[in-house]
Structure 1
């Protein structure tokens, strides 16, 4: 990976501290755009003219993203299509995949070269690995031609921080930049049982809470964990993988050291595993934690779960409450400092598959999700008068039919600052987002993204080893003392030393260049 020049790094660091509403126009290095029906660049403003639309052939854009299919999905598609047909003569097919099946199904789609257009992607979910597989196309030229609304509204730090070897392979969602980790819990149950949740300051403090829930509500799952969402998740343990979190080698987001090491050499790794194993053995955690197909959101929706882990931001509990039919019944507790890493800029993106038959039209759809308030709120909240009614211009109230379309995935699509707020949410939510971002501590690796190309063979092998061990160990399903030596041996055989050496080499070059 080529190191950023000092001026570029200075811009990146500055923009992280500014409001997300800061306008930026950052032109990427042109890449050839492959499109059978590409329209002239002059006709691709957020609302294309009807004259320009008539020059475009009809095209269906297939959007693949993680989430539970909704009963009224077809109705919402029809409403979105009315907007898209008028503006860019396109239609959309929503293709949600349950979280528990997401990795397997998308890997199969990529391997088989299935034709689709938009793929949700994130650095914590194999983004760099999929880029290495050639699954996602570079977007720099497409953004330049068809993404003016994106670059006008998105803080430049997002696109800059999400680059891999100078290229963007995903368009980041316009949302929070800082990140913290913690838990979301049933506040109504805590009140019923007389639990003082304000006493919870650390992971270890959860022990007494879970003990009480287990004793007084034995029918409930006290603590729902799953692969990727547990006490050892990157957002709680504060690992900075310097890019894709499936690739081994970390520094700490809340630290100052820039030496890249295996996560098991960080003292908190073993501490967290021991605590989680203790919780599992005491019956606080769901027994199927390592294999469950449920997301944390769906687990809460079942009504029989007290607590889940979660990446947090202002109002996360209210967002989940609306998505799970638990309005007024959830609370959240931060357990980590607020930090900002390069991975946070690429924590939610929409990429374009190399199998797309019309990348230009696909980028137009992504651009509209960043600029068109009607389209953005349709995909997130459904149809006005059916799934919600308006309380005021930007405040909505769910109807009885709202449960038929409540994906709870606003953080995935385009521009959260276009989102309506439910009447139970803080009306100052977006202002608090800005304050949240300003309070974040910058990771010592901020601005750097690892390019795995030089060690792609070792990375592929290491990712497979991670799939074999991480879920069981991170959820407390197996004993750490018995499993960790086997995990380390297999990672050694896969080539973890070469991966870490390459990651360190690139990080050192980046840091040296940033000081010039």
Structure 2
């Protein structure tokens, strides 16, 4: 290992020398030059090792990065020492994630580790045999994970007592709110402290529209709107594509379709009001733009967002708006299965070396160098270190800034940007304290018995849901039509099946059934 470490050090000395020499005669980005010259400075033995080693394919959702190839190569050199394996990062962009993931799974494409979550059809993919059981692998190769994760988190992420995904070690409470342009709010002297609920945004947005008509007050899109589950504490009791909800901040265990929850109806009408007043982007029902890109465009004042300590600062780094963003929470902190299974890494059933895949996940939970390499890139190129765990941006930061810290293993070993609060991780731990616990914590609905009805409901949702929740259509007219189509598709049968399973879960675990 010492020999390889020295080789890698000498390799980077050569790379940096090449950067210096090449920069004198070209105006290309330094990291572009590194990508082109990297292999030329590897010794023949290192190149043979990389060529012959097994490639671990890591798949996650995000925005492809310009210097991804460079980071892959450095990660591969490091993993050769640790696992005798190299790494291939496969990033599927947000707009095509569902479709691309489904194709990869259906075609039995070979890959090893993949991001999965309750809101990304985790239980459905498990039922398809897409992911392997991890309990034995976790016991053999994931002892560091077991030691660092709260046992409740691992247990409540299980399906019938089996872990098919390893949760990211991060904050586990959920809270919704907005991230907004603090600099614009200060310029217009807006009282952002007055915002306690979604309805309180009305006078803020009216002022933005009046004083800065070129700025749209709120950017929304599919899944990121006033009726998003994190904004309203909806608990889907499993996959959010399967209807049937309770409220995390209520005691009732009665499962309902969303259209029978008054909070949901109120927000449909509020979204419609905001849309008609020009507070919401006109293309809300069709846009594929990322919320971070919307902020970076300087065309929007705010976005809806899951809120946690330092969220605005994180987005500030990603968008080039460091120091210009603020955040406001507008609901109660809560904890449900959607949080314990909201960000996980699974191992594909097509992996040829699942033991290596589990060891990779274990490293992402424990190895400070590898974790931060994948999250922030290479020191001296994509960031500079100010201290052991504090980093600052460089001119090349934008070439590798994936913003997926919450997906990859363990946030508590992430570096901090110098624009972030040095107490961020302590705040994360405190944030999870005092959260209201959903009556459904630990329960995941098995939809196998109603899979035909679920498929029919999903098709109806595609026709109506985005337009309704974005405010693009009048709920007075469209909601009754949507409800009728859902009932024809079999939503009542799904609700009954989910209620039956949920009641059995509550009784088995000694919990009370609460009606309204």
Structure 2 stretches of 5 or more lacking a match?
A: 1-48, 512-516
SS of 2:66's partner is coil
Query: Structure 1 length normalisation: TM-score?
Result: 0.87
CA offset at residue 108 of structure 1? 2.4
CA offset at residue 392 of structure 1? 1.1
| Aligned residue pair count | 462
Residues 351-409 of structure 1 show CA distances to partners (whole Å, capped at 9, x for unaligned) of 12222222221111111111111000001111111111111111111112111111111
CA offset at residue 170 of structure 1? 1.1
Matches within 5 A, 1:255-404: 255-404=250-399
Q: How far apart are the structure 2 equivalents of 1:205 and 1:216? A: 18
Q: Would you say the 8 A contact 1:132–1:452 is kept in 2?
A: no
Q: How far apart are the structure 2 equivalents of 1:346 and 1:229? A: 19
476-485 vs 322-331, which moves further:
476-485
SS of 2:396's partner is helix
Q: How far apart are the structure 2 equivalents of 1:209 and 1:304? A: 16
Larger relative contact order (Cα-Cα within 8 Å, sequence gap ≥ 6): 1
CA offset at residue 131 of structure 1? 1.9
Q: How far apart are the structure 1 equivalents of 2:142 and 2:447? A: 27
Q: How far apart are the structure 2 equivalents of 1:451 and 1:229? A: 26
Q: Would you say the 8 A contact 1:342–1:447 is kept in 2?
A: yes
CA offset at residue 239 of structure 1? 0.5
1:148 match:
143
2:28 match:
none
1:103 match:
98
- Does 2:57 match 1:62? yes
Residues 416-436 of structure 1 show CA distances to partners (whole Å, capped at 9, x for unaligned) of 011011111111111111211
Q: For the aligned residues, what is the CA RMSD?
A: 1.6
Matches within 5 A, 1:85-164: 85-164=80-159
SS of 2:231's partner is helix
Q: Would you say the 8 A contact 1:132–1:456 is kept in 2?
A: no
Q: How far apart are the structure 2 equivalents of 1:146 and 1:422? A: 31
Which structure: larger Rg?
2
1:504 match:
499
SS of 1:498's partner is helix
Q: How far apart are the structure 2 equivalents of 1:306 and 1:492? A: 38
Query: Structure 2 length normalisation: TM-score?
Result: 0.87
Matches within 5 A, 1:211-230: 211-230=206-225
Q: How far apart are the structure 1 equivalents of 2:142 and 2:456? A: 36
Q: Which runs of 4+ in 1 moved over 6 A?
A: none
Q: How far apart are the structure 1 equivalents of 2:302 and 2:323? A: 15
Structure 1 stretches of 5 or more lacking a match?
A: 1-53
Q: How far apart are the structure 1 equivalents of 2:320 and 2:473? A: 34
CA offset at residue 220 of structure 1? 2.2
